[in-house]
Amino acid sequence: QVQLVQSGAEVKKPGASVKISCKASGYSFNNYYIHWVRQAPGQGLEWMGIINPGGGSTSYAQKFQGRISMTRDTSTSTVYMDLSSLRSEDTAVYYCAREGGFGELLGCAYWGQGTLVTASS
């Protein structure tokens, strides 16, 4: 079955960077996009970007351009999301999610368990 397992909670000082991992299993890693979505406490879902694990290409939400980077390691079926210059407003649960469609975007169909990132001095 499709599984996405994320790395553990992080506490960072403002201005620092955080790197979260998302290890995929149960399907062909190269064939499905991975999204990153975050959710601030008590708030809605915010899409951050997408990576094609096969070729490594990415697309980021404009809001995060310049301080976000998504990479992948095909040897371990793991994708990474790096967010720099953290501020208190970045405190949120960060999710990776596998795309539901093959060859088209249908939506975030399979989700990791979430990683809480706390940005606080």
Which chain residues interact with other proteins by CB under 8 A?
A: 33, 35, 37, 44-47, 50, 59, 61, 95, 97, 100-101, 104-109, 111-114
Which pair of tokens denotes residue 67? Answer: 């301080």
- Burial class of residue 98, CB neighbours in 10 A (0-12, 13-18, 19+): buried
Q: Which is nearer to other proteins, 40 or 121 (CB)?
A: 40
Residue number with CB closer to other proteins (16 or 45) = 45
Q: 109: helix, coil or strand? A: strand
Nearer to other proteins, 17 or 30 (CB): 30
